[in-house]
Amino acid sequence: GQQVMQIPQYQHVQEGEDFTTYCNSSTTLSNIQWYKQRPGGHPVFLIQLVKSGEVKKQKRLTFQFGEAKKNSSLHITATQTTDVGTYFCAGWERNFNKFYFGSGTKLNVKP
C-alpha cells in the first residue's frame, strides 16, 4: 500500500545550525504539503508544492519537490529556538484520493 516515509525521526541541533528533513513516497504524488506541530499543539500548514522540481522559500525555510514527485525536503537555515516542533509532510495520492502523512521529524534546538 501507499507509504510516506520521513527521515530522520529526531534531530537535535545547536541554535544557528541548519536542519533538513526528507520525505519519500512509494508512489507518485499529485502534491505535497508540509505542516509544523509545536509540542502540545496541532499541525499548522506551512506550504504546498505541486509542480515537479518545484522550490519554494519562506524566509529561512526552503521546500523542494522532487522531479519524479516522489520525494520532498524541508531545509531550515540557521535554526532558532522558535523552530522547535515536529515537521510532517503530507502527500496527496491521486489514486486513493487522500493525504498520507509521514511519521514526522521532531526538531529540538538547543540555545
Binding footprint of another protein, residue count (CB under 8 A): 22
Among 8, 38, 44, 58, binds another protein (CB under 8 A): 44
User: Interface with another protein includes 85 (CB under 8 A)?
Assistant: no
User: Interface with another protein includes 56 (CB under 8 A)?
Assistant: no
CA 108 to CA 111: how far, in whole Å?
10
User: Interface with another protein includes 21 (CB under 8 A)?
Assistant: no
Smallest gap, in angstroms, from Cβ of residue 78 to another protein?
A: 26
Smallest gap, in angstroms, from Cβ of residue 15 to another protein?
A: 24
Smallest gap, in angstroms, from Cβ of residue 16 to another protein?
A: 27
SS (H, E, C) the chain: CCCEEEECCEEEEECCCCEEEEEEECCCCCEEEEEEECCCCCCEEEEEECCCCCEEEECCEEEEECCCCCEEEEEECCCCHHHCEEEEEEEEECCCCEEEECCCEEEEEEC
User: Interface with another protein includes 71 (CB under 8 A)?
Assistant: no
Smallest gap, in angstroms, from Cβ of residue 83 to another protein?
A: 19
